[in-house]
Amino acid sequence: MATRPQDLLQLLTRAERLTTRRLQRVLEESGCSVEAWRVLALLADGQGHNMTAIADCAFLPPPSLTKLMDQLVDQNWVYRRTDPGDRRRILAQLTPRGVEFWRRLDRGVRAELTPLLEQEDDDRLRALLERLAGALDDEVTTGRAGNVVGRGR
């Protein structure tokens, strides 16, 4: 029997909310919000990212991101610099203090969330969610409707 789309949406929403609550409990001990954690997670790669990429990753509108970035700079976890490739753009990176803070956060988050799924299930869920997100993203960017996850392209 095929599931209804609202059943899948209900499960995805429930899993996301329960995971976020659990994540919030871990982060609150360090005085970090989920949104700040998302920003720090992106910046942890050491590459430096522009505000558009950070807003996309943190799921924040630009004014909210600006306020959050100001807070992260004030806490000396993040610094801003001019993009050498395009001097009109600003890149953000973790400070050395931010790297240490991120490492502590990451250890706590991994300790809390890793035991939830066996590695094989984690890999399978990740692959399915990436396929679903990719199919939905393709539909939004190209305007195509009717993409079904699992069908060959």
Does residue 19 form part of some domain? Answer: no
Q: Which long-range contacts (CB under 8 A, 24 or more apart) does 87-96 make?
A: 89/50, 89/51, 90/50, 90/51, 91/48, 91/49, 91/50, 92/39, 92/43, 92/48, 92/49, 92/50, 92/51, 92/54, 93/43, 93/46, 93/47, 93/48, 93/49, 94/40, 94/43, 94/44, 94/46
Does residue 149 form part of some domain? Answer: no
Does residue 48 form part of some domain? Answer: yes
Does residue 109 form part of some domain? Answer: yes
Tell me if residue 1 falls in helix, strand or coil.
coil
Residue 6: its pLDDT value, please? 82
Chain centroid, CA 121 distance in Å: 20
| DSSP run (H or E) holding 39 | helix 34-43
CATH (domain of 127): 1.10.10.10
Does residue 17 form part of some domain? Answer: no
Does residue 92 form part of some domain? Answer: yes
Does residue 146 form part of some domain? Answer: no
Residue 98: its pLDDT value, please? 97
Contact partners, residue 50, CB within 8 Å, separation at least 6: 83, 89, 90, 91, 92
* Containing structural domain, residue 57: 24-141
Q: How many domains does the chain have?
A: 1
pLDDT in tens, the chain (153 residues): 457 878 888 999 999 999 999 999 999 999 999 999 999 999 999 999 999 999 999 999 999 999 999 999 999 999 999 988 889 999 999 999 999 999 999 999 999 988 888 888 888 988 998 998 898 887 666 665 554 444 443
Does residue 14 form part of some domain? Answer: no
